[in-house]
Each structure stands twice: as C-alpha cells, then as structure tokens.
Structure 1
Amino acid sequence: MTATIDSTATQSTAELLQGVLFGGDFRQEHGHWRRLISTEPFRRQADRTPDERLCLAYERLRFLNITLDCAARTAADPRALAALHEWIGPVDPALTTVAGIHYNLFLGSLLDHDGDSRRDLSEFLQLRRIGTFLCTEVAHGNDAVAVETTATYDRARDGFVLHTPHCGAQKFMPNTSPAGGPKTGLVAARLLVDGADHGVFLFLVPLTDEARPLPGVRVRRLPPRLGSPVDHCLTAFDQVFVPREALLGGEHGRVGEDGEFSSALSNHRRRFLTSIGRVTVGRISMSACAVGAARATLAVAVRYGGHRYISGTGATQRVPVIAHRSHHGPLAEAMATVFGMSLLHRRALDRWEAQAGTAPGAGRFDAERLVAVAKGWITWRARAVIVECRERCGAQALLENNGMTELIAGVEGVITAEGDNLAIHAKAAAEMLFAAPPSAEDIAPDAVPGGLSDPRYLGRLHTYVEDIWFARARARMSDAPHGDPMGRWNAASGPALRGVEAHAHRQAAEAYAAAVAGLPEGRARARLAELERLFALRWVDRNSGDLLAAGHLTAAQVNALPDAVERLIAEVAGHLPMLIESFALPEEVLADWPIAGAGYVHAYDDPETARQTATVAAGEQ
C-alpha cells in the first residue's frame, strides 16, 4: 500500500494563510504580477516632478504590456485584471489608473461589443495608441445616464457627429492628454437618429496624436489632483465626425447599413448599463486595489513598529513600540479587517465570475450588487486601515518616500472611481429595502444563545444586525407621508445604508467561516479563527445595544464583550510578523520604503559623513 502525503503538512502557517488571502492558485493568478513589481523598472525613483512621474507611469505601462502573453486575454479576464490592480496598486497608483482604464474600460468594452465590426485592435494591443474612457461630465457623474454629449447620425456620410453642447457636458475624466503617447477614447454620448434620442452609447473616437489633440477635440488639463499625478482633463468635441463603425453596438442597439436604429432593449437605462457593463469589473478591480494598498501599509506599520525602539519602564530598557497595547491593538484589529476585506473581495469576484456569462436574472443581479456593496465597504475600510497605519508610523510616514501618503491619497480616488461609494450603496439599499422582509421565524432569537467564542452564533448575530436595520428602515418609510417619494426615501435611507453596511459585514463573516473550515487543523486554522472572532466581536460590540434590546444578546454577554476582544487582540498581536508574511510582498518592494527596514535611520543621513563612512567600512570587513 502506497502512503499518501498531505501536502498541507509541508506548508508553513504563512503559506497556508497566503492561500486564504489569494485563492488556491497563487502562482497562476498572482505570480506574474508579483514578479513584475519585483523588477528594476518598478523600483521607486526619488526626486521626480509630477510630470516626470506621469511619464514614468506610461513607460511602466509599456513595459507591463510587453510582459503579457496576450493583452486581449488579460482584458477579457476579470480575475487577471483584479490581480493586476491588487499588486500594482500599492507600487504605482498612477500606473494602476492608466492600466485599469486601458485594459478594462477601453479594451474590455471593445472586446465585449465587437460582434458587429471585428475591429483591428492591434494598435491598442501593442500600445501604439493608449485607450481611455470618457463617461463622466462636469455636470453628470453618478447620473451618467443623463450625459449630454451628442452623437448625431449623419446619413450623407454614414457616420456620427460628436458634439459638446455646453460647458457642463465636457468630459471630466483622466488621461486624455497627449502625455504618454497618442490616445483614443471610448466616449459615452447620446445617440440621435433623425431627431430621435435612443439613449447613451459608446463611440470609438481618436483624441490626440503624439503632441496635440486632433481637429475638433479640445483637451485641457485640470488643476493638480490629490494623489497620483494622472493627467486629468476636460475634453470637449466640436462637430467631430466618426464612421458608423465607431458605435459600439450589439443587441442593446445598433445603426444598420440602412441607417435605421434597432435594439432588443426598449429601456434607455438598460441600453446604457449594457454599454458600460465593464464598470462592474472596474468595481472588482477597485476593491482589489484597495485590498493591496491596505496590506502594504499594514505590513510597513508592523515592521516599523518592531524595529522602532523607545524607552521602557527601566532606566536603560529599550522596547519596540509595538510592544505597547496602545500601538499593537489598532494593528491587530486592522489585520482582522484586512483579512475580512480580502475574503469579501474574493467572494464577490467568484460570484461575479460564475454569473458573468449568464443571461440577466436574479443570480446575476445579486452578484452585481454584491460587487457594488463590496467595493464600497472594502474601499472605505481600506481608507481607515491606511490612515491608522500612517498614524502608527508617526511623522516619518508623512514623507513621500515611505509610500503611505501616496496610498492615502490614492484610496480617495478608488472610493470615487466606478461610482461613488455612497451612491452605489444607496442603490443597493433601495433594492434590498424593497425586497421581501424576512419572516418572523427567520429573525426569532435563538432559544439558547451560543457563547461569544462560537463562530456560528456570532454569524447569526451578523444576520440579526442586518435585519434590525432594514426593519427600522421599512418602519420609517411606512411612517413617512405617502405621495412624497423623496421624503419617504430620505426617512428610510439612513437605516437602510446601515443595513447595507451590515450586509457587507455578514458577507465577510461568512467568507471568514468558509475559509476557516477549508483549512486543516493546525496553527494556520487557529490563527485565522482568532482573526475571524476578533472581526466578528468588534462588529457585535458596535451593535450590542440593538442586539441586547432585541433579545439576541444577554446583559452578561454585553458585559463580557470588552474582555473577549482584549484577549483576542493579545493573541493576534503576538502573531503579527508571521501574518504579514502571508501577504507575500516582495522584499524588493518593501526595500523601496525606508521605514519598512531595520536600518531606516540611515535612509536620510548624509552618506559622506564620517559615521556613515565608518559604517560602510565596517560592513566591508
């Protein structure tokens, strides 16, 4: 009989947890991007102006493109796009922006809507022209279905004339300038045929050559933006003609050779949402970017806390600052949050990928809503983690070369990109509010409440919190005067948005439970279970008043919560260095941020001083 070997027995705790964070096929899904950011072209280059950093982002985009087996395959693969953002995001937010736009919004949309024309995409695949995406206007952001740029069908020339009717209709979007090379955009414009408005579609429009905008196109750089130095611009069109093939048509709408419009969809909004379907993959990518940035800042903060020594209780004692509960406590909680963010991101990605090829229906709509809810929750949590880690690293983390300030600003852009978080959560809140409320038996309290150490009981409490907030929202809407839809929504929106937040927490908690169950007995499972309980208890603690009032918690359990949380913080804090190993950040990347290394005190010193020269000489002996 041949003995079998459990492969998990040969894996370290960090490696097993790496599998939890990144999924089962790390090498295939993430290996390329991790190796890429380890290479010399991605090393941090100091003392560059914003324009030089912008040029560097485009140089790196071209280098990235050369490394791809097939750019079209990457653009068509949501999982590859998410991994790109997860690894590139912490290293170069400007590159992440232009790469995400080119591969997902631009190339992805062309591939999705290529049924009518079979376009030659070679100049975009080989980056002879860079793709960009123009949807938002100065006066229209989250209500992009109301954009006012027009594309009027010209029967005589069998094409469309794009025009910006007033200043509010100027496109308010990034990277449409000639910086980085010639650009072509997908422009969201209102399709007019013989005076009839058929809704908003995408049109393929050349924007610039190597040096300037093309005739009829006006591009003006906006003032410097907080964060990465992307060339954000106002873009306008003055009677710009494009051929009929420029329309990204399909079943949702097309103009035939006879000049007649046809569509399988009668609703303008559904036509528009089909046209910009790549926004959903963009939201997945924004979540990935936020997860990667939060992991990077947490890794730096933990490492810095371990080699930043301060005075201890004795006259000569020196201790690392992370030894203090006031310092390691927030980092332990951040670790539980970052694992929750990562697990929710993977859960949303898996569900979307499973539904992406199916016809519109309940399963696909639910998956799309989970992507939207996850994007909002993850990017908001990332901001909190990044800001906390920056503070734990003190004044040195405010220096640009330590990486955190760029990520603080970058996460603000991610919060707004692909739909402002509040707007997409409000849409999800409305959908969930009008869904059938849970039945009485679904929300009845447990006959025998479980203990605070029981993950199944804590999971049940997550469900109760979500139910409480949506029940409160329905009650407030019912009490509001009828005949005033805005007033009724305003009455319900506050608790409904809290319900969406609770829904995100519940989804993350369920992903945690599945991940713990998927690990073999041992240290990795124990470490993940500690993070799971800390994540859950912090949420239960925040909502303990409502849970107590509803009979889902006892007074004794409420009193026991603070001590239970403290015990878990102590357990998690003792394993923080190992836990950041599971992030798999390359040492080359960490070396670019001085405070991530034990020799950070030498990073700012004059290399010509006697003490530095002596140090170097001693190291050579």
Structure 2
Amino acid sequence: MTVTLTDTVPPSTTDLLTGVLLGPDFRRRHGFWQRLISTEPFRRPPGGTPEERLERAYDRLRILNRSLDSGARLAADPRALAALHAWLGPVDPALTTVAGIHYNLFLGTLLDHDCVGRRDLSDYLTMRRIGTFLCTEVAHGNNASAMETTATYDPERDGFVLHTPNAGAQKFMPNTSPAGGAKSGLVAARLVADGADHGVRLFLVPLTDEAQALPGVRVRRLPARMGSPVDHCLTSFDRLLLARDALLESGEEGDTTGEFRTGPGDRRRRFLTSIGRVTPGRISMSACAAGSARATLAVAVRYGGHRLISGARGKPPVPVSTHRSHHGPLASAMATVFAMSLLYRRAQERWEACTDGDGRAEAGRLVDVAKAWITWRARDVIVESRERCGAQALLENNGMTELVTGVEGAITAEGDNIALYAKAAADMLLAAEPGGGESADRSPCAGDLADPGFLGRLLGSVQDIWFARARARALRAPDADLLGRWNAASGPALRGVEAWAYRQAAEAYAEARAALPEGAARDRLGELERLFAVEWVARNSGDLLAAGLLSGDQVDALPETAEELIAAVAAHAPELAASFALPEEVFADWPIAGPGYADAYDDPEGPWNTGRADPR
C-alpha cells in the first residue's frame, strides 16, 4: 500500500515541503513521472553525437507513449502536461520539447477543436505519426497574426491550396523533419476565399514519411542551435492541395457551398482560439524551468557537501559548502526556487479556476508573467549552480550544460519573455488609476523586517512606485504620439511587472506557509519566504526609503537580516534539496552528484591501478 499524506503516518518535514513544491497530492500527480525517469531507457548514456541524441529522444517518446494508459488523456490534462515537463526537462530536454509539442500543441489542439469522433486520431495516439505545430514564420514571431502563409479555398476541387509566398513566410519551427519518423503538423495559415481574407486558421497537414518530405512540402534543417539537439527546420509549401476537412472547424465555418463568413471581431477571436494551447504551454514552460532549476540546485548542494578543500591552518579539510562565499548564493537560489515553484502552481490554479470574463484575463496575465519571471529566474539559478560546481559542471556527463543552454529555449518558447512582460505592462498601466496605488494610505516605516506581512506590503509598494513613474512619464508625452507615450512609460512599467511577479510569488509563499502545521516544515518555509522578500526589498531599498516606507535604521538592518536568513537556510540546504524528490537513479547518472565523483575520472592504466612502485 502506498503511503499518502492522508494516511495515519505523520508526514515528514521533507514530505511536507515536497507537498509545498508539487502539491499535497504529489505522489498521485508526480509518481508516474518519477518512476518513469528512473527506468533504464531514461538513464543517461555516455556521450553521443547530436543526431544520436535526437534519435534517442524520439525512441524515448515512443516508450513514454506506450507507458501511458491514454495519450489523449494526457493531452487533455494540463496538470499532467506540466508534470511531464517538470520531470523530463532535467533528464532529456530534447524529449521534453518533442513530447510537449506532440501532446499539448498538436493532440491538445485537435481535442480542443472537438475532433474526437470526427477524425481518426489513432495514428497520433499510437505514434505511427508524430505531431508538430507550425505557427511562427521567419518574419513573424510574436506578431503571428500577421503571418503570410495562405490557404486559398478552391471551389472547383473543394479544398485548400496551401502556399508559402516568400522567404519570410517559411515556418520557423522545431521537429518537422523526417527524423524520428513520419510527421504531421497543424499549420497556421491565412484562409482566403472569394478574394477575402478570413483570418488565420489551422490546417492538419501530413508533412513527411519516414524518409523524406511529402510532395508539395519542403523541409530544410536550420543551422545547429544551442541547447538540445531538436530538429529545428524551415518548412514551406508549394501550392499543396489539402482536402476540405484539413481545416480545423470552430463551429462557424463555411457551408457546403464554400461560403466562408467572418463577422466583426471573428478573425482575432478565431486566431486566439487556434493558438489556445499556448497558455497550457506557458504553464508547462514554467514547470520545466522550475524542474530544471531544482535539479541543478540539488546537484550543487550535494557537490558542495562532498567536495573537500583545505581547512584552516592545522585543521582537516572541510566541505566547500561550509564557506559563506559558496553557500550564500545557493541559499538565495533555494529561496528563489521555492518561489518559482509556488508561483507556477499559483498561476496554474488561477487559470483553471477562472473560465471567463475579467477573471480569465487576469489569470492569463498571471500565467504569462509567471512564465517569463520563472524562466528568467531559472536561468539565474542554473548558471549560479553550475558555477558553484566549477569546471566539472562544464562537462556534458555531469548534466548541467544541457540545462544551462536549454533554459534559453524556454525563455523564447511560447512567447518571448519581453513580449509577455510588455503586454502585461500595457494592460496594467491602462487599468491603474493615477493616485490609486496600494501604498497611498500606508503609514511610513510601520513594520518589522521580521514580519512577512510587512515585507509583503513593501513588495506591493515597489510595484506601485514603478507604475506611478510609468504613468507620470506617459502623461508627459504628446497624446497623439502613441509609440512615444509607450516608449516613455515602458521602462518603468516593465519594472512594475517584475515587481508584480515578486509580489505574486511572496503571496504564494504566505499562503503555503499558512497551510502548513506548526513545526519544522513551516519554520523552514518561513525562513525561505523572508529571505526571498528581504533580498528583493534590499534591491529596492532606496526607492522605499525615499517614499518614507522604510526608515534609515531599517535600510541599515537589511544586510544583517539577509545574512541571518542565509545562515538559517544554508543550515538546512540538504534537507531542502531532498524535498525536490528527485530519484536517486537520476543523481547516479551525474557523477558530481555523488561522493565518489572522482571515480568517474579513474584511469585503469594509471600507476595507482597498475601497482608500479613510487620511484621515491
């Protein structure tokens, strides 16, 4: 019988903290993925060329698919998709990419368009064909609604002619080559009928067989990119005739005579519906980044505990982690990693809870901002963790280098981070009322740096300060110059969005702490929560002091407060890293994660093994 948090056995501190990171039902939600990455097919083999690693990723994709009770059920469950990314991301970024595209963007979109029963999905559920998604073009990324690929309705043949009119309209997307097997794609194209543009729609298009692109389809591999060896390609179409049913229907398509109707607002609404799977994709990117950051931080904590350096004069060697210069950055990273995991879960839960209206828009904004903030913070944590492990962490067999470069893909995937921040900044700037900031009625300096509630209010004040600056700059620009007004306001407004993300993460911390019982787990989380908030307040202490929200004595106390919290967190770093619940099989594949890391460099022919006498 599996022991769960609802059984009579009291949960350990580690289990309680794992529940904070992954949810109280983490064994049910995440157990499958933990077991999967522990099995032999997912263990890390030595070396391999990029092509061999890509082939291995597709082999693993099929093994994964055979392990599922239903690929359709996975595609329909955003939480399961996020868990897939959180656990597979640190183990095989290439696999994570192709799995996310197949199950979320491809199968998920087909399911969302109510294709079950009307289309035979067996080829995709059994992986006789792998699904991909073609939206971005060379010249159209974040402005995908301006894409130029066309699908022109031909009434005589009752089908669509899919065509790429110029070099800028080539699809600029991953895994469309024959690598890994036959592929089909959902292709975003501008529907043209009777000379009218009916906006961007999705079309189901066979792209390749097992060996080559199909007639009318041209696929060219892009130059090698940093990170995982996914087959990124340029894909174009030369007047490819598609059957009428290639068009994914949304309930208001043309009648049997081919008369397509598009009312006011329909084009944008239908485009957003077509790319609706981007939102679960952003949640998955957050989960993937958080999972990768947890893995690298866990390795760094373990390595710091068994990498010995010279002690003080006349003293035995000590672990490098005993030094503040080493454990300090990792303690800060630990506070950030917990914040990332909590914010991703907060965004996911808000999105699931809100189905329409203003609440849905607000939840979507949180998903967007969380994706950007989490992937940026993941890069910080992964790079810091790599550096704390020295030169050995630069070797591919130690698992970190692929994650250092892989997080760059997450920063760009499912919407560039800066574009997501900019959209949120514009929305929040328009929604805010001048003079209505949340710090307007607060008493100056009324609080204690030991009080998480006071720290949380300061985080809200940082947000208010930056948006007030953005509004003031916008008002000074000419009304008629919309671009000029935005450029004037965007710098501080983007800082305001960043502050909003920190505030959301701090609120998620507070909610998680309040849900824990009194005891060690709650104490550990409280230390992390305060360290996270104090370091952000310290970065903005000048603005808070100028606004009268911090006193000079409080500003002076911030560095000492942070040092005390760093010491408290560092003292429990191994226990906190254990709460990440990574299987030991994963650590066994990364030599520096174990105390015998030097054995990975043993030389059977070395004199220490051949028994030659020391000439001395």
Q: Could you say which TM-score interval applies, normalised by the shorter chain?
A: over 0.9
For the 8 Å contact 1:30–1:83, the answer to whether it is kept is: yes
The residue number in structure 1 matching 2:144 is 144
**1:312-360: per-residue Cα shift (whole Å, max 9, x none)?**
11235201101000000000000000000000000001111122xx34x
State the Cα distance separating 1:482 from its structure 2 match. 2.1
Q: Does 2:84 match 1:84?
A: yes
Q: Is the 8 A contact 2:438 2:461 kept in 1?
A: no
Amino acid at match of 2:324: R
Q: Distance in 2 between matches of 1:8 and 1:196?
A: 66
Q: 1:56 maps to which residue?
A: 56
Aligned to 2:382: 386
Contact 2:445 2:551 in 1 (8 A): no
SS at match of 2:314: coil
Pairwise CA distance, 1:563? 0.3
CA shift digits 1:210-244 (9 cap, x unpaired): 10000010000011110100000000000111111
Aligned counterpart, 1:412: 408
Shift of 1:268: 2.2
CA distance in 1 between counterparts of 2:409 and 2:572 reads 32
Counterpart position of 2:67 = 67
- Inter-partner Cα distance in structure 1 for 2:191 and 2:116: 17
Correspondence list, 1:586-597, <5 A:
586-597=583-594
1:153 corresponds to: 153
Task: Quickly say closer, same or farther: Cα 1:64–1:314, change in 2 above 3 A.
Answer: same
1:465 partnered with 2:436 = no
Q: Which residue of 1 aligns with 2:535?
A: 538
Counterpart in the other structure of 1:558? 555
Contact 1:265–1:271 under 8 Å retained in 2: no
Task: Name the counterpart of 1:127.
Answer: 127
User: Which residue identity lines up with residue 246 of structure 1 in the other structure?
Assistant: A
Cα drift, residue 267 of structure 1: 4.1
The residue that corresponds to 2:351 in the other structure is 352
1:112 matches 2:109: no
Q: Deviations over 1:481-525 (max 9, x none)?
A: 221111110000000000100110000000000000000000000
The residue that corresponds to 1:439 in the other structure is 436
Change (3 A) 1:610 1:40: farther
Aligned partners of 2:311, 2:491: CA distance in 1, in Å?
A: 47
Query: What secondary structure, in the 3-state scheme, does the structure 2 residue paired with 1:434 have?
Result: helix
- Which residue in the other structure is 2:234 paired with? 234
- TM-score (norm: length of structure 1): 0.95
Change over 3 Å in CA distance of 1:204–1:466 after alignment to 2: same
The CA distance in 2 between the partners of 1:52 and 1:181, in whole Å, is: 14
**1:30 corresponds to:** 30
SS in structure 1 at match of 2:601? coil
Structure 2 residue 601 is the aligned partner of structure 1 residue 604: yes
On the 8 A contact 1:541/1:558 being kept in 2, the answer is: yes
Does residue 476 (structure 1) correspond to residue 473 (structure 2)? The answer is yes
CA distance in 2, matches of 1:156, 1:611: 81
Q: Deviations over 1:400-431 (max 9, x none)?
A: 11111100100000000000000011001000
Is the aligned partner of 1:403 residue 2:399?
Answer: yes
Conservation of the 8 A alpha-carbon contact between 2:382 and 2:403: yes
CA distance in structure 1 between the partners assigned to 2:264 and 2:76 by the alignment: 24
2:487 corresponds to which of 477, 487, 490:
490
**Cα displacement string for residues 3-46 of structure 1 (whole angstroms, at most 9, x for unaligned residues):** xx996872211111000000011121111111100000001111
Say which of 422, 430, 437 aligns to 2:426: 430
The superposition leaves residues 589-615 of structure 1 with CA deviations (integer Å, 9 ceiling, x where unpaired) of 01111000000011022245464589x
Separation in 1, partners of 2:254, 2:437: 52
Q: TM-score, normalised by structure 2?
A: 0.96
Q: Secondary structure at the match of 1:89?
A: helix
Cα offset, 1:377, TM superposition: 0.1
Q: Which residue does the alignment assign to 1:194?
A: 194
Structure 2 CA distance for partners of 1:67 and 1:441, relative to 1, 3 Å: closer
CA shift, 1:443, in A, is 2.6
- Secondary structure of the residue that 1:257 maps to in structure 2? coil
Is there any run of 5+ residues in structure 2 with no aligned partner, and where? Answer: 612-616
* Distance in 1 between residues matched to 2:32 and 2:254, nearest whole Å: 41
Counterpart of 1:618 in structure 2 is none
For 1:399 and 1:262, how far apart are their aligned partners in 2?
57
Identify if the C-alpha distance between structure 1 residues 306 and 543 changes in structure 2 by more than 3 Å, giving closer, same or farther.
same
Corresponding position of 2:577: 580
Give how far 1:271 is off. 1.8
- Give the aligned length: 606
CA contact (8 A) 2:527 2:565 kept: yes
Aligned amino acid, residue 390 of structure 2: G
Structure 2 CA distance for aligned equivalents of residues 441 and 171 of structure 1: 45
Aligned residues of 1:178 and 1:208 also touching (Cα < 8 A): yes
Shifted more, 125-134 versus 114-123: the winner is: 114-123
* 2:40 counterpart of 1:40: yes
One-letter amino acid matched to 1:219: V
Asked if 2 retains the 8 angstrom alpha-carbon contact of 1:91 and 1:589, the reply is yes
- Equivalent position of 1:508 in the other structure: 505
Describe the shift of the 1:456–1:90 C-alpha distance in structure 2 as closer, same or farther (beyond 3 A). Answer: same
Residue in structure 2 matched with residue 300 of structure 1 by the alignment: 299
Q: 1:603 is paired with a residue of what secondary structure? A: helix
Whether contact under 8 Å (2:300, 2:386) holds in the other structure is yes
Which AA in structure 2 matches 1:22? L
Asked if the contact 1:445–1:551 (Cα under 8 Å) also holds between the matched residues in 2, the reply is no
CA distance in structure 2 between the partners assigned to 1:209 and 1:6 by the alignment: 50
In 1, the alpha carbon distance for the partners of 2:20 and 2:8 equals: 13
Output the CA distance in 2 between the equivalents of 1:594 and 1:294. 18
Matches of 1:506 and 1:441, distance apart in 2: 12
Look up the equivalent residue of 1:319 and give its one-letter code. Answer: V
Q: Which amino acid aligns with 1:99?
A: A
**Quick one: distance in 2 between partners of 1:447 and 1:60?**
58
Query: Would the aligned equivalents of 1:78 and 1:353 in 2 still touch at CA under 8 Å?
Result: no
C-alpha deviation, 1:442, in angstroms: 5.3
Matched, 1:376 2:375: no
Deviations 1:70-118 (A, max 9, x none): 1001001100000000000000000000000000000000000125972
CA contact (8 A) 1:531 1:572 kept: yes
Letter in 1 for 2:405: A
Deviation at 1:439, TM superposition (A): 2.5
Instruction: Find the counterpart in structure 1 of residue 318 from structure 2.
Output: 319
Whole-angstrom distance in 2 between the partners of 1:503 and 1:81: 26
2:163 paired with 1:163: yes
- Structure 1 residue aligned with 2:518, among 517, 521, 526? 521
Aligned to 2:614: none
Matched residue of 2:184: which SS?
strand
Distance 1:51 1:539 in 2: 43
Partner of 2:270: 271
Q: Pick closer, same or farther for the CA change 1:30–1:294 going to 2, 3 Å.
A: same
Deviation for aligned residue 1:448: 6.4
Give distance in 1, aligned partners of 2:437 and 2:73. 49
Change (3 A) 1:10 1:271: same
In percent, how many aligned pairs have the same letter? 71
Give the letter for the 1:328 counterpart: H
Aligned Cα RMSD in Å? 1.6
Verify the 8 A CA contact 2:439 2:460 in the aligned structure 1.
no
In the alignment, is the contact (CA less than 8 A) between 2:444 and 2:549 conserved in 1? no
* Residue 436 of structure 1, CA deviation: 3.0
Q: Is the 8 A contact 2:513 2:522 kept in 1?
A: yes
Q: Separation in 2 of the partners of 1:344 and 1:439? A: 26
- Is the contact between residue 445 and residue 548 of structure 2 (CA under 8 Å) also seen in structure 1? no
Corresponding residue of 2:331? 332
- Unmatched tracts of structure 1, length 5 or more: 615-621
Q: Which residue of 2 aligns with 1:225?
A: 225
CA shift digits 1:109-141 (9 cap, x unpaired): 000012597211110011000000001111110
